[in-house]
Structure 1
Amino acid sequence: MRCLSYFCWLVTLSTATIFENGRERETHFVDTKISSITSNSTGWKTFGPNATELSYKGRWDSNHVSWWAAPGLKFAFTGQNLAITFGPQTTDTVLIAYRLSGLDWQLTNLTTGATHHLIRPTTPGLNATLPTQLPLTFELRVTNWGYGVQISGIHLSPNATLIKVPDYGRRIEFIGDSLTSGYSATYEAFSGFGYNIGAGLGDTEFSITAFPGICLHDAECWGNPRGQEYQWFRTSDTSGRAQQAYGEEAPLWDFGSQPAADIVFINIGTNDANSHNPVTPAQYLQSYIDFVPKVHEVYPRAQIVLCSLWGGFGQSGNTYKQGPAFEREIYEVYKTYEGTGYWHPTDVGHIKIAAHVIQYIRLKFGWELAATGPEVQHETLYWNDEVRY
């Protein structure tokens, strides 16, 4: 994979079963569902989903429904208890990752419309006797790219407070397809290199607008009705739940709702290059040339990284060689703007890609690493080569 710096989407409903190299993987998902909590429930203090102290990461719509890959929620709080009610537009059994401050991630499957008790007095680290960073923070990430959650209410202990966590000072946007969204990785988007790069840099806000099977050119590809040159400007992705919620016209994304990206990482075109989809090299090239200045319209000061594509590996003599896709076209896009400023990786593969890209960003743009301890990827001793869950 080379990066040039210019400044089968087929899924079934996710369950708690993950297959790893032909065997069912042992999982330790926490059962967090409890009885419903209302604003009149005793023992709790409730905040609405539009509370100003809540920081939504990635793309969420006006109903506080999450979209695209690895969207998140972060805030600080006081007290001993924290629960969240997930609304009717939450995908049933969707797997989320959550954690207290910089401690290990925990995983739990959600129930549509239910309340989940995520932090309680027995949560490790809540009452640590060693020096701790206060206030305590809570972070949540949706692991899947095709499913999502709806935040209906945040519940804390009766005398607790909700606290805003300031955004980090630098921001990166990922635009891509199945590779960037973590398709076939053990925890999907949460294990993908898009997430690993953003989290691995440390002190960095990031958004992953990537979805499996999508083309750059605005064409129907692997069940995606539109390409990224159209969909990237929309709040929602191209999932079946998005089509059910919005039909053919998803709402435009308000780019002013979050600070502008400093770096935009584009890795897309593998599906355009697939003979199954009706995209020609000329169409791909023109779409890419048209797309780059549109990205700069919304992020005028962003550095844009164009990434070359994997075209698959084939035997060449006594070794194997990668066959690139759209190599000439991507380089032509790079040269056009230079003067102005189907296989999938395993978990280990995503980590390797992230490591190389982080190093590239550090050398090219001077972004020093800020991650000094909090875990980036959960359960990295495992690797996976299957896409069935």
Structure 2
Amino acid sequence: MWSLSRLPVFGLSFLSASATILQNGQPRITTFPDTRIDPSSYSFNTHPRNASEISYKGRWDSKYVSWWSAPGIQFGYTGQIVAVTFGNWTSDGVLVGYRISGLDWIFTNVTAGGTHLFVSPETPGSDLMAPISPSIFELRVTNWAYGIQIESVHVAKGEKLIRIPDYGRRIEVIGDSLASGMYTSYEGLSSWAYGLGAGLGNTEYSITAYPGICAADQNCWGNPHGQVHQWFYTSDTSPRASVMYGDNPEPWDFSKRPAADIVVINIGTNDQNSHNNVSTTIYIDALTRIIQGIHGKWPKAQVVVMSLWLGFYQSGNTYLPNAPQGFVNEIYHMYKWFNSDDYLRNPIVYDGVTKKTLKTGKKTKPFVHYFNTTGIMQHNDIGPQWHPTDVGAIKVASHLQQFIKMTFGWEFYATGPEVFHETEYWNDESGY
């Protein structure tokens, strides 16, 4: 993970991003290319940031600034040149991952106001047009607290961008630091939430998760609002959002994208912490309203509520999970209530912007499901800071994929392209 991730989230926006990745407390050797160029030295065909060929993934505001975890852009292109000019609202030095089609991720730090050359004839894979044409360019922001602003996209003179159609199924993850990728190596691009969406294959995914945030709408670890409020807005609860929007963030226009088919919710560890003083009643009420809000915005979406985990402690010559601090039985009872005849006959929807609740008067089918995380991770799958390791994140994502396959019949389509970067560990020494 980046060393800056260890700092309180409320101080992040005033610091320069670092490229240091800590691996078991030691810096990992990285060779990120320096991609910044002088655009006047190139002959480009330039496309504005609102070009219809550019697909924006995750949440982006009207200024084309990215928010939340692992947002990105994608487009097809001809030729062997791709460059991007970033606007001044880009977090200076933020680490981004980019790749050509299904090849491995490459990482680089980008600069506010700078132009960066991501694909050239020297880029591995830039000359590979088979088995499909055109090539596909994808870029994702790694860090949950930082973001980028797209100013323009460039290809070689005489070449063009091509819009790549969206996949036919969509998944959304709502959460906190556990979902956003805090303390994993490449943060958002090493999180279980990203692994779930990307690992399913042929799936559009969005991760509205931010460290320290509660479900309840109150200040938690410097976050001024909880997800029962913030999920309805474009921006997250970061300091840069406060600088940019103050108390008037843009409500998220749910009509901008097709509805999610599945929404996974993993939130409550910050509500559970005594530091934030959230009662069980307030937490369950907030979680209930989040689900009612999802049903109001996306009436056909299926909601998966995850149980929470709190790490392990050593007990004698073994390790045991920390005793639950509440919410375990309450989350399960809430799930059962959503599936009760009384609720299904007259469901309630909620709007987090207007704070209104409304009984629809329309009978609905069960749409809330429960995913029990017990037994998935062992003590060595959770790091010293109480968050999943890279392997722990992979295990959570893998189990969720199987749950989704068994529950909703979704097949797996990711059959080759890299999902998690730098997790290829192997041994080829046979002489033991």
Return the TM-score normalized by structure 1: 0.92
- Tell me the residue number matched to 1:73: 73
Moved more, 268-277 or 18-27: 18-27
Cα distance, 1:9 vs structure 2: 3.5
Cα distance, 1:316 vs structure 2: 5.2
Map 1:305-320 to 2 at 5 A: 305-315=304-314, 319-320=318-319
Instruction: Please say if 1:290 is aligned against 2:262.
Output: no
The answer (yes or no) to whether the contact 2:45–2:157 under 8 Å persists in 1 is yes
- Pick from 356, 360, 369 the counterpart of residue 403 of structure 2: 360
Map 1:217-366 to 2 at 5 A: 217-315=216-314, 319-322=318-321, 323-325=323-325, 326-339=327-340, 340=344, 341=366, 343-366=386-409
The answer (yes or no) to whether the contact 1:72–1:140 under 8 Å persists in 2 is yes
The answer (yes or no) to whether the contact 2:9–2:238 under 8 Å persists in 1 is no
CA distance in 2, matches of 1:371, 1:265: 19
Cα distance, 1:319 vs structure 2: 3.4
- Tell me the residue number matched to 2:429: none
CA distance in 2, matches of 1:330, 1:190: 28
1:278-315 CA-to-partner distances (Å, cap 9, x unmatched) read 21111101112222111111111111000001133234
Map 1:206-217 to 2 at 5 A: 206-217=205-216
Cα distance, 1:80 vs structure 2: 1.8
**Structure 1, unpaired ranges of 5+:** 1-7, 383-389
Cα distance, 1:318 vs structure 2: 5.0
1:337-368 CA-to-partner distances (Å, cap 9, x unmatched) read 11440710111111111111111111111111
CA distance in 2, matches of 1:225, 1:128: 48
Higher relative contact order (CA 8 A, sep 6+): 1
Provide the aligned C-alpha RMSD in A.
1.6
Instruction: Please say if 1:33 is aligned against 2:36.
Output: yes
The answer (yes or no) to whether the contact 1:49–1:151 under 8 Å persists in 2 is yes
Q: Secondary structure of the equivalent of 1:354?
A: helix
CA distance in 2, matches of 1:29, 1:162: 26
CA distance in 1, matches of 2:63, 2:182: 26
Cα distance, 1:317 vs structure 2: 6.2
- Tell me the residue number matched to 2:132: 133
Cα distance, 1:42 vs structure 2: 5.9
- Pick from 416, 419, 422 the counterpart of residue 373 of structure 1: 416
CA distance in 1, matches of 2:119, 2:335: 48
1:240-297 CA-to-partner distances (Å, cap 9, x unmatched) read 1001000022110001100100000000000000011021111101112222111111
**Structure 2, unpaired ranges of 5+:** 1-7, 345-365, 367-384, 426-432
- Tell me the residue number matched to 1:386: none
- Tell me the residue number matched to 1:179: 178
- Tell me the residue number matched to 2:22: 19
Percent sequence identity over matched residues? 54
CA distance in 2, matches of 1:305, 1:9: 27
The answer (yes or no) to whether the contact 2:9–2:145 under 8 Å persists in 1 is no
Q: Secondary structure of the equivalent of 2:393?
A: helix
Map 1:89-104 to 2 at 5 A: 89-104=89-104
Cα distance, 1:381 vs structure 2: 3.8
Map 1:103-142 to 2 at 5 A: 103-128=103-128, 131-142=130-141
The answer (yes or no) to whether the contact 1:308–1:324 under 8 Å persists in 2 is no
CA distance in 1, matches of 2:216, 2:156: 50
Cα distance, 1:132 vs structure 2: 2.8
Cα distance, 1:328 vs structure 2: 1.8
